[in-house]
Amino acid sequence: MADTFKDHFSTRSADYARFRPVYPPALARYLAEVPGRRDLALDCGCGAGQLSTLLADGFARVIATDASAQQVANAKPHPRVEYRQAPAEASGLDDASVDLVTVAQAAHWFDLERFYAEVRRVARPGGAIALVTYGITEIDGAAGGVLSGFYHDVLDPHWPPERRLVEAGYRTLPFPFDEQAASPFAMEASWALADMLGYVDTWSAVRNAEKALGRAPYDRFADDLRAAWGDPDTRKAIRWPISLRVGRV
């Protein structure tokens, strides 16, 4: 992992907060069962707080950090979640103070050697770590074909190399902890056309393609998706399989 913060999302942080899919509450309940205590969870690379707020249902406190001030500013408020601007590799928390460290859809951006050292420093005895990532968006029918073609054919040269780690479900990441088998989960949503277009427009590869080619590739995709979707108000079932790496520190 690189030593510098790769910021792909700050410029669209409000859209990121609005359009990114929501983790299932069952995932947060499962993660809360992993550590021996539930006093404090640390959610690193928290983005808009998609997982942070769910963890608050199982922990007395959640500290959610992100290197991007814009992401933190747009994060969803919760009375038991404290948002801080901080890199994952330097949380600023006390030694041996955290029961669970989570990372949702962000570990592929971290300097993992430094991050794992930070996890070992802040984790209490019996503490745990969980890396969470979700895979390629699944939609049935013609709309799914259009989305797949845009993802694989048009955007392929524009995805950051770290995206391959996501596609592999983080299985290719080093994970030097006492790993345990994790339960399967998936995110599911019922979206209208505008929801899907807004979500795709938050992708890092769309930002990179826009820098190189302008908005034309995304605009063509949007036209193709409209044609395949039909009535724009029709809600379609969307699914993202979730992969977990869970271990004791």
pLDDT digits (tens, 9 = 90+) for 34-67: 998 999 999 999 999 999 999 999 999 999 999 9
Confidence at residue 17, expressed as pLDDT on a 0 to 100 scale = 64
Confidence at residue 15, expressed as pLDDT on a 0 to 100 scale = 64
- Distance, CA of 209 to CA of 84 (rounded, Å): 31
Return the CATH number of the domain spanning residue range 10-248.
Answer: 3.40.50.150
Confidence at residue 12, expressed as pLDDT on a 0 to 100 scale = 57
Confidence at residue 109, expressed as pLDDT on a 0 to 100 scale = 93
Domain ranges of the chain: 10-248
The two tokens of residue 65 are: 């950090």
Confidence at residue 77, expressed as pLDDT on a 0 to 100 scale = 95
Give backbone dihedrals phi and psi of 189, rounded to 5 degrees, phi first.
-150, 160
Confidence at residue 19, expressed as pLDDT on a 0 to 100 scale = 76
Rounded to 5°, angle at Cα 111 from 54 and 7: 70
**Please, which residues have CB within 8 angstroms of residue 171's CB and are 6 or more apart in sequence?**
243, 245
**Please, which residues have CB within 8 angstroms of residue 15's CB and are 6 or more apart in sequence?**
198, 201, 202
Extract the residue ranges of the chain whose pLDDT is less than 70.
Answer: 1-17
Confidence at residue 9, expressed as pLDDT on a 0 to 100 scale = 47
10 Å Cβ neighbour count for 234?
Answer: 12
Confidence at residue 18, expressed as pLDDT on a 0 to 100 scale = 78
Residue 125 burial (C-beta neighbours within 10 Å; 0-12, 13-18, 19+) = exposed
pTM of the model: 0.89
**Please, which residues have CB within 8 angstroms of residue 239's CB and are 6 or more apart in sequence?**
137, 138, 139, 186, 187, 188, 189
Confidence at residue 21, expressed as pLDDT on a 0 to 100 scale = 87
Q: What is the dihedral of CA 29, 34, 38, 44, to 10 degrees?
A: -80
